[in-house]
A and B are shown apart, each in its own frame.
Chain A
Amino acid sequence: MIETYLLHLFIIACLYVILTTSLNLAIGYTGLLNLGHIAFYAIGAYTSSLLALNFGVPFWIGALAGATLAAIVGYLLSYPTIKLKGDYLALGTLGFSIIVESVLKNWVSLTRGPLGLPGIPKPSIFGFAIDTIPKYALFGLILAVLVYIVLEIVVRSPFGRVLQAIRDDEMAAKTLGKDTFNAKAKALALSAFIAAIGGSYYAHYVTFIDPTFFSILETILIFSMVIVGGTASMLGSVAGAVLLTLLPEPLRFLPFPSSIIGGMRQALYALLLVLVIRWRPQGLIGENTFKKFKNGVKR
């Protein structure tokens, strides 16, 4: 029993590693303060679930379809938000995630609205059924490692260097001949693609999803994971995801009703976020994006 519980935590930690590293690509490396990441996660989860439930589409095709859809949406989202920077982009993308959530709630004929989608089949990849918890944990590990490697290679590549240059000074990057719109849109698309894979992975694990899974609380959680772990560090994101997944778990064993424990969980995230920003603004691992450089003097 205890192994099942621990494996479950491991599976959830893998999910958050996928979501956090992909969000860090946008926030930490490209400087896009994206608060709409959870919408891409939702698109992935719903697309592959609906394809599986309605048409019996195999998991990997559904997951790829969801990821592709999310990537296209991410790319298109760049058009209306092109001129937005910093806080304004954060509000724009937050608005986007609220729109997606309310579509999920209200497009009842497609998504069954608040009733959610029960009975999502467990995945089977090329005839290999991933139907037990240990198998799913292994599957999660493989996915998380793959995502980590892909993202680490991208951010270290010349393309990744352009993204970081855009983060530091977009105008300067433009005067060096970089098509910054194109680079930002592609980064957002890749970030969305990976988040959607995370969505499919999660939906087929829990076998039931409803719109409350994709609310602003979830956005705040993965955002906190990025900040606590450290922006512009993929390893930091892994650390943040694992830490914030495990940290509130001991609360479960306290003799309080679950309604109180839920609130305590949120309070714990907030507390950790405050502590990190006050004492270690660069995060557990990672570069300091809050510190501004000016004329050689660190402020």
Chain B
Amino acid sequence: MSLTVKNLKRSFGGVEAVKNCSFKVKQGKITALIGPNGAGKTTVFNIITGIIRPDAGNITFKGEPLIVLQTHEIARLSIARTFQLLKLFPKLTCLENLMIAHPGKDEKMFDCFLKPKKIRAEDEAKRARALELLKVVDLERYKDEKAGNLSYGQQKLLDIARCLATEANLLLFDEPVAGVNPIVRERIKKLLKELKQQGKTILIIEHDMRFVMDLCDEIIVLDHGVEIATGTPAKIKKNKKVIEAYLGVDA
């Protein structure tokens, strides 16, 4: 088991965004977190990555408790994510956006004076890896363009590439194909399948059901901050509770 979420609770003012939510994400599988708007999916992501602290509950990643850690410490445990609203570095170039995600040692201020050769060699390696990834998402011709100048679909791809550049084992994608055209969507789908073959564990939030049903091994359905169903796509499609949550109960 890769990621275990147990009895997670978090409210904002009077809104209980997540209440008693528990689920497990299996190693090497693609798992989807779905549910109607306001079900608490993004809040769960934010709690996993340490951006928001839960009111109660526990999260462990490969046996290590996460909720006591800060965001950057969690990231260093090999967990990476994308954001629903893109969070690229708009004034850095595409290449720099990927280079910065490279899981190297901590960047020290005086290293560029104390060991310039080593830093240059490391940076060259980062650059080579970043170029490779830009090719994967077909953006290498924009390598020196500022990320903020790309179109929305291109930024979406760059964001995914940046997530890959971290070489993390657990990848969290928040609506990776929302608002992108069908061609880019297929490319992202293919990319995620390749990642699975490389042995990565993937958790995605997505509203595009065809995309989810096609791609995922397992689906977790959240509604009003509680998980209401877990299972394979085929099982989830027939689950009565899920249909009710999405379409409402018959009068």
Contacts and interface: CB of A to CB of B under 8 A. Distances in A.
B209 interface: no
Given A158-B119, A172-B89, A176-B100, A298 B72 contact: no
A159 B52 CA distance: 27
A157 B107 CA distance: 9
Given A296-B149, A296-B152, A161 B107 contact: yes
Contact of A157 (B72, B100, B111, B155): B111
Size category of the binding interface on chain A:
35 or more
A161 B96 contact: yes
Interface in B18-32: none
Interface string B161-205: 010001000000000000000000000000000000000000000
B83 interface: yes
B1 to A, nearest CB: 23
B100 A162 contact: yes
B72 A153 contact: no
Interface string B33-74: 000000000000000010100000000000000000011100
Interface in A149-186: 150, 153-154, 156-159, 161-162, 164-165, 167-169, 171-180, 183, 186
Nearest to A164: B92
A187 to B, nearest CB: 8
Interface of A: 150, 153-154, 156-159, 161-162, 164-165, 167-169, 171-180, 183, 186-187, 190, 232, 287, 289, 293-296, 298
B83 A172 contact: yes
The 9 closest A-B pairs by CB, nearest first: A293-B148, A157-B112, A177-B75, A293-B90, A168-B89, A172-B87, A174-B71, A159-B107, A158-B107
A293 B149 contact: yes
B88 interface: yes
Contacts of B162: 176
A179 B100 contact: no
Given A171-B87, A296-B154, A159 B71 contact: no
